[in-house]
């Protein structure tokens, strides 16, 4: 029994170290999803979809930095449901280049994504 607890403790310690090194885990305050967009995320909805009628985003982004888009044409709702002052930007270039005006947390834009090739999630 003691060996089982020791092994479990060693595994938990190793798992914690891996998460700490990867930087993938972030504590987020409890919040509300917004038309299917999880709290802390930026969401893109399908072309011509009204999120209140169909609360199922096609793309959900959580990590800061640039996210390249593919096969996104026409008008889409893009929701910034991040917290802590984080903004997002729509960019004409790949890898977060040639970006437009940042959209603050708690706001959405209805934009033509045909010329947009990436979205950035910006740290506050």
Predicted confidence (pLDDT) per residue in 57-68, tens digit: 999 999 999 999
| The pLDDT of residue 3 is above 80 | no
By percentage, how much of the chain surpasses pLDDT 70?
75
pLDDT band at 32; cut points 50, 70, 90: confident
The answer as to whether 79 is a domain residue is yes
Tokens of 27: 């504590």
The answer as to whether 14 is a domain residue is no
Please tell me the total count of domains within the chain: 1
The answer as to whether 91 is a domain residue is yes
Domain of 84?
A: 34-122
Give dist(CA 79, CA 97) in Å, integer. Answer: 20
> How far from chain centre, in Å, is Cα 65?
10
The answer as to whether 1 is a domain residue is no
The answer as to whether 74 is a domain residue is yes
What are the backbone dihedrals phi and psi of residue 115, each rounded to the nearest 5 degrees, phi first?
-85, 0
Give dist(CA 29, CA 10) in Å, integer. Answer: 28
The answer as to whether 4 is a domain residue is no
The answer as to whether 111 is a domain residue is yes
The answer as to whether 9 is a domain residue is no
Tokens of 112: 């033509």
Residue 23, sorted as left (phi over 0), alpha (psi -120 to 50) or beta, turns out to be left
CATH number for 63: 2.60.20
């Amino acid at each position: 029994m003691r060996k089982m607890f020791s092994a479990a403790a060693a595994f938990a310690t190793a798992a914690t170290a891996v998460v700490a090194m990867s930087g993938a885990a972030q504590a987020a305050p409890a919040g509300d999803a917004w038309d299917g967009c999880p709290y802390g995320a930026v969401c893109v909805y399908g072309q011509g979809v009204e999120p209140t009628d169909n609360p199922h985003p096609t793309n959900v982004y959580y990590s800061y930095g640039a996210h390249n888009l593919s096969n996104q044409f026409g008008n889409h709702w893009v929701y910034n449901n991040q917290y802590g002052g984080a903004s997002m930007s729509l960019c004409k270039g790949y890898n977060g280049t040639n970006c437009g005006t940042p959209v603050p947390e708690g706001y959405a834009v209805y934009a033509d994504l045909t010329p947009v090739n990436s979205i950035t999630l910006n740290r506050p």
